[in-house]
Amino acid sequence: MNDFSSLNFNPAPEIDRITPRQFKALAGMIRAEIGINIKDSKQTMLEGRLRRRVSAVDAGSIGEYCDMVIGGRLGPGEFEHLINAVTTNKTDFFREPAHFDYLMETVLPLYAAENCRQIRCWSAACSTGAEPYTLAMLLDDFALRVRGMDYRVIATDIDTDVLATAIKGIYPREAVDPVPDHLRRRYVLEPKDSRRADVRIAPELRRRVAFGRVNLIEPTYPIGDPVHLIFCRNVLIYFDKQTQEQVVSRLSEQLLPGGYLFLGHSESIAGFNLDLEQVASTVFRRSP
């Protein structure tokens, strides 16, 4: 028999994991705070995202980090980082363009015909800002063509990192590829140094968008007066059905009578008992 005991094998590196108990506790905290359901199958994804925080707070391992968060030893500031780490922020300028066609071809002409001269719009899960800046470009373009027309965009998200990016309004050049040329020329600034790869939203447009942090699962939304348009796209999918219904119900209360709610293309309000009528694919209208 060969004796391998003297050979020096490198043991496989131990993978830093969290236990099922820690996963359950953390997922429960995240769900209670922001409504996002993290399925058991997403444990590896969650671990990957939390690893960045382990060194940031000087924890010895991801398990130790979790115990510190669960035990409340890191304070509310760390919980904000945790929330920022678990949100999914995918977005694009002119994402789901049929919504913007409907806005320009149907909704805004209707408001103009009704003599409405101040359009208020809310992007309710705005991520890094592509959605509210898309809206601002279109509303601004429309306002230039309709005498006396004015507009305002409110943009909110739970994630303070994406809000910081949105406020700066600086994007990699390819991010604005979907913006039609005439709008890009007017609202997107090229860098003075042509070697730089990023572009910036023009300050006149940035000034038209007010950013803030709003958690959609809170019972009230501090956005001020009711609005004509709400874009709440691609966030309901992360909530369970009951939370979705509560959120959509609160959103519809923030709409003016006859106002419009735009949801993401895979989102639905089927089975919810709400004062909303479907007027186009994933576009709903509050009764006038």
Rule CB under 6 A: which residues touch ligand SAM? 34-36, 87-91, 95, 125, 127, 131, 157-159, 162, 215-217, 233-235, 238, 264
CA 24 from chain centre, in angstroms, equals: 25
CB of 117 to ligand SAM, least distance (A): 27
Tokens of 15: 């993978």
Decide whether 57 or 217 has the Cβ nearer to ligand SAM: 217
Q: Min. distance of Cβ 267 from ligand SAM in angstroms?
A: 10
101 is catalytic: no
Beta bridge partners of 172: 198
Give whichever of 62 and 163 is closer to ligand SAM, judged by the CB atom. Answer: 163
Q: Of 17, 31, 49, 117, which residue is the catalytic one?
A: 49
Min dist CB 259 to ligand SAM, Å, is 18
Min dist CB 109 to ligand SAM, Å, is 24
What span, in angstroms and rounded, lies between the C-alpha atoms of 231 and 162?
Answer: 17
User: Would you tell me how many other CB atoms lie within 10 Å of the CB of residue 14?
Assistant: 7
Would you call 196 a catalytic residue per the annotation?
no
192 and 210 Cβ atoms separated by less than 8 Å: no
Amino acid occupying residue 79: F
Nearer to ligand SAM, 99 or 206 (CB): 99
Task: Find the catalytic residue in 95, 140, 157, 206.
Answer: 157
The DSSP letter of residue 238 is G
CB-wise, 43 or 234, nearer to ligand SAM?
234
Q: How far is CA 266 from the centre of its chain?
A: 15
- Whole-angstrom Cα distance, residue 253 to residue 275? 9
The residues near 43 (Cβ < 8 Å, ≥ 6 apart) are 18, 23
The nearest distance, CB 233 to ligand SAM, in angstroms, is 4
DSSP letter at 128? T
If the CB atoms of residues 215 and 281 are measured against ligand SAM, the closer one turns out to be: 215
Six-digit token string for 139: 């509303």
Kindly report the number of other CB atoms within 10 A of residue 207's CB atom: 9
Q: Which residues are catalytic?
A: 49, 157
